[in-house]
Amino acid sequence: MGGENSMRVMKFGGTSVGSGAAISQTASILAAAYREGRPVIGVVSAMAGITNLLLETATAAACGDGSASSQLYSALLDRHLSAIDHVIRDPGRRETTTATIRELVERCVRLVESVHVLGDLSPRGTDWIVSFGERMSVVILAGALAEQGIAAEPVNADRVIVTDEVFGSAEPLLDKTRDMAQATLGPLLDRGVLPIMTGFFGATEAGVTTTLGRGGSDYSAAILANVLRADEVWIWTDVDGVMTADPRLVPGARTLPAVSFAEATELAYFGAKVIHSPTMRPAAELGIPIWIKNTFHPEHPGTRIGPEPGENGSVKAITAIPGLSVITVEGSGFLGVAGATARVFSVLGRASINVFMISQASSQHSLSFVVRGSDGPKVIRLLSAEFEFDILRERVLRIAEDP
Ligand code: ADP
Ligand code: ASP
Ligand code: MG
């Protein structure tokens, strides 16, 4: 594939394609990068709010809401057609783009109607339905680039990213993805076309749509960069990079000019939504730097995430994950006993409860760990059942949740 060594993958998040005006701005950034003459691949999220809307509507339909699909139909058409109105002037292109969006909206709404008929929404069905957000946004962005005289083509990632079958948080199979990416994107790049690929989803080897987890379009970009040996990933978003805190919560937050892959992974894992935490893995494996840049303030240098450690100093940023609970298990005759801690965590593991942090008092009389607040009552129930006899014998004195 020509020019592999200087390829850039540029990913644009939901706000960067959230309206006609935002799509124009994104198209200008991509057009300028393309005109530099190095190969570029765009990776795009759904318009801001669309993934949530699809998830909420599909859930409502499964719960018996008979009007969910018709409301979805008008909301999807409304958002996407008004973006087309803003960015596409050429009458022929406007007509074809509109027809493609209508067709996608109709397919998506038919799926939601079948969820309503079945009264059931499987993880597999959910992934298929939510993938339509990205399937629609790429069509409009490619149209906006065509308006600027650029040969851009929308590409669905189920022809590129091959994953395992874990619906809702699938992991890529990199070797198979490399073959598919070369077969699908190679001919486009060779012809000088700018591919605009859907973020967020891929497909199993059998071609069934899977998603990479919420916020997963960042991951799509890094996976693509890995398999095509790109030299940079640029994540375009709505803030000036990775900051010392979430600027929505802390107005004085400042941009960190450079952080390491390990630091970025940790910040993301502990709540810095600006980058999806698995994203660093495929990039770090090959030392591909990731730039975080602001679509609406492109002159700001942003943050470089790379192999090198960032600035000196141990505290880089403060992150927060809302809605967590601390669970404490206490009991003097219990926690020193080998295997007790293992029992606690195997119960949680079997129930797929995500544990964010663990601490054990050195006296070993108490063990505390952090889980999602919504998992709290379930954790208490499971542990109370597991340790029923230990509670009766007073080896365990307390299993409690502190919000
Ligand atoms: P996109 O749709 O572009 O992927 P996201 O909403 O997923 O954007 O991520 C960007 C948001 O991340 C910002 O608007 C900001 O509120 C939030 N954020 C949380 N923590 C941080 C942080 N430490 N630095 C920058 N942004 C942060
Ligand atoms: N559209 C998807 C989401 O909202 C993926 C992404 O935006 O990264 O989770
Ligand atoms: Mg995001």
- For 150-164, write each residue's pLDDT tens digit: 999 999 999 999 999
Distance in Å, CA 329 to ligand 3 centroid: 35
Residue with tokens 């706000």: 15
Beta carbons within 10 angstroms of residue 298's beta carbon: 14
Q: Please list, residue by residue across 310-342, b when 16 or more beta carbons sit within 10 angstroms of its beta carbon and e when fewer do.
A: beeeeebbbbeeeebbbbebbbeebbeeeebbe
Sorting pLDDT into bands at 50, 70 and 90, what band is 314? low
CA distance 289 to 230: 10
Q: DSSP code of 45?
A: P
Q: Which of 343, 368, 366, 371 is nearest to 356 (CA)?
A: 371
CA distance 137 to 80: 8
45 Cβ below 6 A of ligand 2: yes
List, in order, residues 6 or more apart from 297 with CB less than 8 Å away: 240
Contact call for residues 52 and 208 (beta carbons, < 8 A): no
CA distance 192 to 37: 9
* Res 26: pLDDT: 98
Q: Could you tell me which residue, 401 or 60, shows the higher pLDDT?
A: 60
272 Cβ below 6 A of ligand 1: yes
CA distance 43 to 181: 13
Beta bridge partners of 198: 44
Q: What is the number of the ligand closest to the CA of 234? A: 1
* Res 401: pLDDT: 87
- For 322-352, write each residue's pLDDT tens digit: 788 888 888 876 666 667 888 898 999 999 8
Distance in Å, CA 178 to ligand 1 centroid: 29
Q: What does the block give as tokens for 232?
A: 């940079």
Q: Is the pLDDT of residue 219 over 80?
A: yes
CA distance 205 to 332: 52
CA 6 vs. chain centroid, Å, equals 25
Return mean pLDDT, the chain.
92
The pLDDT of 373-378, averaged and rounded, is: 91
- Please state the φ and ψ torsions of residue 6, each to the nearest 5 degrees: -120, 25
* Res 365: pLDDT: 76
Q: For the chain, how far is it from start to end, CA to CA, in angstroms?
A: 54
Q: What is the pTM of this model?
A: 0.83
Neighbours of ion ligand 3 (CB under 5 A): 13, 215
